[in-house]
Structure 1
């Protein structure tokens, strides 16, 4: 009788305690010599047996059916099958006498044997893999609920194998943050971002330029502001966010324009309406100019110029950079001083305004905290409806995603308000004293 030797070990969790391929081959060859079994060929497979379709296993079984061998030597019966399809094929060929002998390290199987023991072994292997799969999935879902992303960290982060957490990759995090800022400004396209990343040394696998679809995916990933998606649900992560929710929303507002850049919304020019042209007396206006560098960087400069609305006068004044205009204004204002008798009343007015602003901010923060509390209650009721099967999964996920996004936005507003009330007071107080 001639035998095929079959050794298998996958990278899946269920094979962690199984001998390595090399160890199986050594043990099985020794077993064959001890029992005087003739091995005509060895089959080695590195693939899980939990689903049908293993190429090497199928080839071996086809050759057995053609009569090239009559027996199989394997470490354990579950090396041959961990699913009912392959297990049933092995049992059927053994019962029909096509396979005349299966030798494992601890027992033999023959066509005339009671098939109950083999059925139990194969059934236990199949049930083990089913339970393992369910337990693994349940464990990963629980991990996500505790705020730990159960997957590979996106660009800008690193998986720390020592602590089994996700930490910030300092260099890439800076690039990701700037990428969001550039795109949110409405002046940079996805293709320009790809060029900028290439110049910064960030490449995809195969040392290729990052594709715009990948950049679009990064810009839509909530992981960067502190949330993450897993198994269709959005969870709050315990990793450090790289950007604010407001910056994420701005970038995605641009992205919803189907990749087209939006009209540049420049800040109101502070001197328009206050100053006039020294040559013709007309008002002045401001323009923002862009300068693109070869390394992908984009610089913005503000120029003030005469509106030239007086057609009777040919104005000869050239545009002026904002920095030069501000230096001239600073020099001009430096020639004046505030009367000393104004200092005390202005300081009193400042104290009153500061107290009022602080009170308003406190009230606003409390109102926002109430909203956060209401949203948290809505999320709990939403989960109850889903558990009670009164809500379809897609509807549940959609509502949950919207509520969590809204809560994150409000939480950031609270942080800004708590920091903001007094930040302007001291600079104004110093200005009063120095003026």
Structure 2
């Protein structure tokens, strides 16, 4: 550009140049001074560009994403950081949770989330590509990309990395659209025929819901069963895996005592996780040193750093969950005991939907044969069923609650 201007001066196309601070005349001295002015301008621009880039790199090293905050967050111009948008962030969390179920396509999810009021930074409805970008952005689990490199952020994450990974799996497998029947049959698509293996379907006859085998593979002799009879079968199964409220309360008390006893071991485990996090920080620093010493290439550094950083984030999430929940098996046992305590209540209710959900919760592969239900109970529910049957068999007045709780741990 400078050479072009000098050429135009030499050919007489430019006779004078005037600037706010100096003016130019077409003499050898004037051309020389003009070249110096252009050189100073170029130096100033290049130096300013380098300072800006240096500032951006420094900001990234401190865990701050540069540029405009993504949907669900706001730029705090006063403190120069990114903060959650309290109005939009809950909707972002709901977006991830809904998509992770695999029951929604991007298109259907876009309509639902727009109806709930989630908008873009410009307060416009989200497009399908906007939804896909949000679901694919590591920013929402506490990291961000800068020039193709993953960095850990200091901003408040919207979701856990586990939920983010689940969404990526769903996106890769392309979830299918969920279709709903016009008429609701609470136990439809729950059972398979115990004789031929076909699905159990349903229909209305004389104002009542009946269930029967579809008989699509071969001849099947299984009869119809009325919905009320099917519900009675389910109630009997739930009764076998229910806990007496007094027993459940006693077990909860024992779990509380166990939690106090294991507090010290919990602290040691938490310290172990913190040490692993510190070890990953050292690995990240070592990788940086190797790259700066040109022992490894920038591409190798970027790839290995991303792996180590993701491992570190996983450990941090495990530590966070552990600190919130304490000893995992104790929490699982508590949840299980409370669920078993509710089994009797659900079995006595008329809520077929809750009965169906609870049946799916306690086992798998439910079969219907000769108007009787069989189901493969999960391990903990097998233990409870055996516990109840032994208590009834031997007529014990006081069940061995502690023995049962310890079996849950194993």
TM range (shorter): 0.5 to 0.7
Q: Which ranges in structure 1 are unaligned for 5 or more consecutive residues? A: 1-84, 264-275, 288-304
Shift of 1:329: 6.0
Shift of 1:204: 5.6
Pair 348,99 (structure 1): closer, same or farther in 2 beyond 3 Å: closer
Pair 161,384 (structure 1): closer, same or farther in 2 beyond 3 Å: same
Is the aligned partner of 1:91 residue 2:24? no
- Alpha-carbon distance in 1 for matches of 2:5, 2:262: 80
Greater length-normalized contact order (CA 8 Å, ≥ 6 residues apart): 2
Is the aligned partner of 1:387 residue 2:292? yes
Q: How many pairs align?
A: 312
Is the aligned partner of 1:354 residue 2:259? yes
- Alpha-carbon distance in 1 for matches of 2:249, 2:167: 45
Shift of 1:119: 1.1
Q: Tell me if the contact between 1:189 and 1:260 (Cα under 8 Å) persists in the aligned partners.
A: yes
Task: Write out per-residue CA displacement over residues 310-368 of structure 1, whole angstroms, 9 at most, x where no aligned residue.
Answer: x766342317999xx789968x979x6758xx998x68964674367556644543443
Task: Write out per-residue CA displacement over residues 131-173 of structure 1, whole angstroms, 9 at most, x where no aligned residue.
Answer: 0001001011101111222210000001122222211112211
- Alpha-carbon distance in 2 for matches of 1:320, 1:242: 46
The residue aligned with 2:163 is 247
- Alpha-carbon distance in 1 for matches of 2:39, 2:331: 70
Match 1:173 to one of 89, 93, 111: 89
Q: Calculate the aligned-residue CA RMSD, in Å.
A: 4.7
- Alpha-carbon distance in 1 for matches of 2:12, 2:311: 67
Match 1:368 to one of 270, 273, 291: 273
Q: Tell me if the contact between 2:106 and 2:131 (Cα under 8 Å) persists in the aligned partners.
A: yes
The residue aligned with 2:305 is 400
Q: How does 1:67-78 map to 2 (within 5 A)?
A: none
- Alpha-carbon distance in 2 for matches of 1:177, 1:404: 23
The residue aligned with 1:291 is none
- Alpha-carbon distance in 2 for matches of 1:358, 1:212: 48
Shift of 1:107: 3.2
Task: Write out per-residue CA displacement over residues 189-220 of structure 1, whole angstroms, 9 at most, x where no aligned residue.
Answer: 11111222332344569987533333222112
Q: Tell me if the contact between 1:254 and 1:261 (Cα under 8 Å) persists in the aligned partners.
A: no
Q: How does 1:118-133 map to 2 (within 5 A)?
A: 118-133=34-49
Deviates more, 1:164-173 or 1:349-358: 349-358
Pair 207,378 (structure 1): closer, same or farther in 2 beyond 3 Å: closer
Is the aligned partner of 1:316 residue 2:225? yes
The residue aligned with 2:323 is 418
Q: Tell me if the contact between 1:354 and 1:425 (Cα under 8 Å) persists in the aligned partners.
A: no
Q: Which ranges in structure 2 are unaligned for 5 or more consecutive residues? A: 179-190, 201-210, 342-397, 402-410
Pair 313,233 (structure 1): closer, same or farther in 2 beyond 3 Å: closer
Pair 108,164 (structure 1): closer, same or farther in 2 beyond 3 Å: same
* Bigger proportion of residues as helix: 2
Task: Write out per-residue CA displacement over residues 53-105 of structure 1, whole angstroms, 9 at most, x where no aligned residue.
Answer: xxxxxxxxxxxxxxxxxxxxxxxxxxxxxxxx2x2222222233321112233
The residue aligned with 2:185 is none
The residue aligned with 1:200 is 116
Pair 130,319 (structure 1): closer, same or farther in 2 beyond 3 Å: farther
Shift of 1:242: 0.7
Task: Write out per-residue CA displacement over residues 345-402 of structure 1, whole angstroms, 9 at most, x where no aligned residue.
Answer: x689646743675566445434433332322221111101110112221221121112
Pair 347,97 (structure 1): closer, same or farther in 2 beyond 3 Å: closer
The residue aligned with 1:377 is 282
The residue aligned with 2:19 is 104
Q: Tell me if the contact between 1:226 and 1:240 (Cα under 8 Å) persists in the aligned partners.
A: yes
TM-score by length of 2: 0.62
Shift of 1:178: 0.8
Rg larger in 1 or in 2?
1
Pair 319,121 (structure 1): closer, same or farther in 2 beyond 3 Å: farther
